[in-house]
Amino acid sequence: MRRLIKSKWAYIKNEQGSSHVLSIGLIMVAILLSFVFFDMYSTFASKNISQTSSDAAALGAAEEIRKTYEDGLKDDLDRLLSSIDEDDEDLYPIKERIEDAAEVNVIESLIDLYNAMEEDNPEEIIFESMCSTIRQSESDIIQVAQHYADENGASGPINNFQFPHDEKFAVILATERDTAFATVDLDDLQLDTHAAAAVKLPKELDYDQNYCG
C-alpha cells in the first residue's frame, strides 16, 4: 500500500512539474510574441509618421519654390523696365503701359517685352531665369522643407533633394526618422521615406522637359 501511495505521489509531482514547465514555456512564447507585435506596430507607426513628414516637406518645398521664382521674375521685370529709355520707340510704350497698369501680370509683361525685343523663345528665357533662381536658393528651400519635416516628426536631415524631378516641374526629397526594435539590437536604425510634389506654374507657361535641364 505504501509503495502504491508513493508511486501515485511521485506521478502527481511529475505531472505538476511538467505543467509548470509548460506554463513557463507558454509565458515565454507570449512575451516573445508581444515583443514581435510591438516591433510591427512601432515600424508601422514610424513609417506613417515618416511618410507624413516627407509629404509635408515636399509640399513646403514646392510652395517655397513657387515663391522663389515669382520673386525672381519680379526682379527680372524691374531690371528690364529700368533699362528702357524714352528713346526706345519699341519698348518704351510697353514700359509705360506696364507701369500704368493697376495690376501687373509679370509673365505677360515679360513675354511682351521679349517679343518686342525679337527674342526667339520668351518662354525659354523665363524658365531659364526661374530655374537659375531656384538653384541659387536651393539651400533656403531645403531649410523650409526641413522645418515642415521636423514639425511632422522627422528626426534627421532632408536628403535626396532633387528639382526638377522626373522631367516635370516638380520636387522630390526624402526624410529620416529614428526607430528601435525590442527583438533586434540595432543602433541608429532609420526609416527613409520619399515624397514628391508638383510646383505650381503660371497659367501662361507650359513646362518643357528640356527646360531646367
Lookup: cell for 209: 522637359
Q: How far apart are CA 60 and CA 76, in angstroms?
A: 24
DSSP string, 144-158: HHHHHHHHTT--S--
Enclosing H/E stretch for 136: helix 122-136
Span 63-99, pLDDT tens digits: 999 999 999 999 999 999 999 999 999 999 999 999 9
pLDDT digits (tens, 9 = 90+) for 133-182: 999 999 999 999 999 999 988 878 898 999 999 989 999 999 887 655 54
Specify whether the CB–CB gap between 209 and 182 falls below 8 A.
Answer: no
**Order of strands, edge to edge, in the sheet holding 189-198?**
159-162, 170-179, 189-198
Q: Model's pTM, two decimal places?
A: 0.76
